């Protein structure tokens, strides 16, 4: 039930001495977690001090005019119920629950702050969720708020939840969901000290489907200050604020699974080939390593161009393992072409996207190349040779097409070397040919595939001749699999 959560700040509210657990993981540091399952008390809190001590938060307005906090258990799952009770149309009474870090926290430039929580409105009225960040080097903070409230709509009388743009009842409202259902909020904040902050909040229904996105333009900015070149955050706050305007607008809601954490902004840490690499071998796989785990469901959103033209997605496969994206082409890449991999649309497991391309240029065509290779089985069938052969005690016929890419006559020697599973050379053969300018010629060689060779390899070497041993291209390895 524990969810991960983001840190934020409100300076016009009371500062609390809350507790937090800092458990660093790769690309992420948890700053505060609370799912209420370990809270000893079940039922209504009558003492503010007890509530604050057990929940690790601070309350403002506790016990005033019926404002209350309570731990309830539903099907064995504990959660927090907060209630604010109004006392007149012009006199709003609120119950504020504030979570914060009581110690200075260093946040590297360009990191992101995340807050996640589950909530449900169970009576008609309103609540705010506010957060803010206070840098140490200035006197001020950035504070934001979004406001959710419920009421019976005119017309069909359906109870709805609304998202309020401002802080008054006459502000722009947007229907976000039906009344009395669980919602999940995820607040994502860019923390770019030189470029300011951007705040986006996603709301999901209880089935995990996104129902609304709150962008920068929608947020109510309570107070904004230029952060300059601040390098530390002094206070990070998250505060649900239950509000009622009149006695017939009593408001209550449930809160669960609060998590506040920082993560590294999604980025590329390395790639093979390296970004802007040249002379890349045309049979190479592309491996791109990220700083955070990749959401495998988004891997096919990347795109590739070759020489400026879009490469069909049918020409390659994309796989993901943890932080690594691997792109494997069905056929060799084009000699001399520049390839660009655009990662737009790929996300990490935190939901972050990325704006990044990885570019490289394939080597120019060698004087002589192996342009194709096929294998003849004992049964007489011929098929393209891609991954390797099977150690089934057969003798395979290897057919290789050599291509002279120059306007001169060239000699070429194809060497076939077989290694067993221990890496010992167990068989070899070679054949030499002369190729006229631009000529393509097919040459053959036999490959023994004894069962004892399982786990080994067959390597193909293309040299100019057996005298100077100058290679034309990188050797090709074929796996020998067990039958």
Residues 80 and 47 in one domain: yes
- Domain limits for position 273: 268-362
* Shared-domain flag, residues 111 and 236: yes
Name the nearest CA neighbour of 406 among 347, 469, 464, 456: 464
Whether 13 maps to a domain, the answer reads no
Q: Across all residues in the chain, what is the average pLDDT? A: 76
- Rounded to whole angstroms, the Cα distance separating 304 from 308 reads 9
* Range scoring the smallest mean pLDDT among 250-264, 333-347, 398-412: 250-264
| Domain closes at, from 263, 297, 318 | 263
The DSSP bridge partners found for residue 320 are 325
Q: Are residues 200 and 71 in the same domain?
A: yes
Q: Shortest CA distance to 462 belongs to which of 427, 430, 414, 398? A: 414
Over 50: is that where the pLDDT of 394 sits?
A: yes
Would you say residue 348 lies in a domain? yes
Q: Single out the residue in 263, 281, 307 at which a domain terminates.
A: 263
Query: How many Å apart are CA 479 and CA 460, to the nearest integer?
Result: 12
SS3 state at 476: strand
Euclidean distance between CA atoms 84 and 61, whole angstroms: 9
Q: Band the pLDDT of 345: cuts 50, 70, 90.
A: very high
Average pLDDT on 117-136 reads 69
Q: Which residues contact 208 (CB under 8 A, 6 or more apart)?
A: 184
- pLDDT classification of 216: cutoffs 50, 70, 90: low
Residue of higher predicted confidence among 457 and 105: 457
Fill in the DSSP letter of residue 165.
Answer: S
345 lies in the same domain as 379 = no
What is the distance between the alpha carbons of residues 166 and 147, in angstroms, rounded to a whole number? 7
Secondary structure (3-state) at 2 = coil
| Range 151-183 burial, b when 16+ CB lie within 10 A, else e | beeeeeeeebbbbbbeeeeeeebeebbebeebb
358 and 379 fall within a common domain:
no
pLDDT at 133: 61
Q: In this structure, is residue 3 part of a structural domain?
A: no
pLDDT, tens only, 152-191 = 555 556 667 777 654 444 445 567 666 667 888 888 876 5
pLDDT tens column, 304-339: 999 999 999 999 999 999 999 999 999 889 999 999
Q: Span 258-265, mean pLDDT?
A: 83
Q: pLDDT band for position 427 (50/70/90)? A: very high
| Structural domain ending residue among the three candidates 263, 282, 307 | 263
Give the pLDDT confidence score for residue 323 in this predicted structure: 96
Confidence of residue 110 (pLDDT cuts 50, 70, 90): low
Q: Please give the pLDDT value at position 85.
A: 65
Is residue 14 domain-resident?
Answer: no
Number of domains in the chain: 3
* pLDDT over 70, % of the chain: 68
3-class SS of residue 95: strand
According to DSSP, residue 168 is labeled: S
Q: Is residue 8 part of a domain?
A: no
Question: Would you say the pTM of this structure is higher than 0.85?
Answer: no
CATH code for the domain of 314: 2.60.40.1220
Residue 393 lies in a domain: yes
């Amino acid at each position: 039930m524990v969810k991960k959560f983001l840190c934020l700040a409100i300076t016009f509210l009371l500062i609390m001495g809350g507790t937090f657990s800092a458990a660093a993981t790769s690309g992420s540091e948890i700053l505060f977690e609370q799912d209420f399952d370990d809270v000893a008390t079940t039922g209504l809190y009558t003492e503010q001090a007890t509530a604050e001590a057990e929940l690790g938060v601070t309350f403002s307005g506790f016990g005033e005019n019926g404002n209350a906090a309570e731990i309830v258990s539903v099907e064995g799952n504990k959660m927090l119920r907060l209630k604010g009770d109004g006392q007149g149309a012009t006199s709003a009474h609120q119950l504020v629950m504030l979570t914060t870090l009581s110690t200075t926290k260093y946040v590297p430039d360009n990191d992101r702050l995340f807050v996640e929580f589950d909530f449900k409105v169970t009576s008609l009225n309103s609540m705010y969720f506010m957060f803010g960040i206070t840098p140490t080097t200035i006197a001020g903070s950035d504070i934001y708020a979004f406001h959710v409230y419920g009421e019976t709509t005119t017309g069909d009388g359906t109870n709805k939840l609304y998202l309020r743009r401002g802080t008054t009842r006459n502000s722009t409202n947007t229907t976000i969901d039906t009344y009395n259902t669980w919602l999940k909020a995820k607040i994502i904040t860019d923390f770019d000290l030189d470029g300011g902050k951007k705040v986006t909040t996603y709301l999901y229904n209880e089935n995990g489907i996104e129902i609304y996105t709150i962008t920068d333009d929608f947020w109510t900015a309570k107070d904004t200050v230029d952060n300059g070149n601040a390098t530390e955050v002094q206070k990070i706050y998250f505060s649900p604020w239950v509000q009622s305007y009149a006695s017939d607008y009593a408001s209550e809601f449930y809160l669960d699974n609060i998590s506040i954490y920082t993560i590294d902004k999604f980025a590329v840490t390395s790639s093979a080939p390296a970004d802007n690499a040249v002379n890349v071998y045309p049979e190479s796989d592309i491996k791109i390593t990220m700083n955070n785990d990749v959401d495998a469901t988004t891997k096919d959103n990347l795109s590739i161009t070759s020489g400026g033209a879009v490469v069909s997605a049918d020409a390659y496969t994309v796989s993901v393992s943890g932080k690594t994206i691997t792109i494997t082409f069905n056929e060799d890449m084009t000699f001399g072409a520049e390839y660009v991999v655009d990662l737009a649309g790929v996300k990490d497991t935190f939901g972050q996207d990325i704006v990044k391309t990885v570019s490289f240029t394939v080597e120019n065509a060698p004087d002589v190349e192996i342009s194709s290779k096929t294998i003849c089985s004992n049964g007489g069938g011929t098929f393209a040779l891609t991954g390797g052969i099977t150690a089934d005690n057969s003798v395979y016929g290897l057919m290789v097409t050599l291509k002279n890419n120059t306007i001169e006559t060239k000699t070429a020697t194809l060497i076939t070397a077989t290694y067993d599973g221990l890496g010992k050379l167990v068989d070899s053969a070679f054949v030499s040919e002369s190729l006229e300018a631009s000529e393509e010629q097919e040459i053959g060689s036999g490959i023994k595939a004894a069962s004892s060779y399982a786990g080994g390899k067959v390597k193909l070497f293309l040299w100019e001749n057996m005298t100077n041993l100058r290679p034309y291209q990188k050797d090709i390895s074929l796996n020998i699999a067990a039958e």
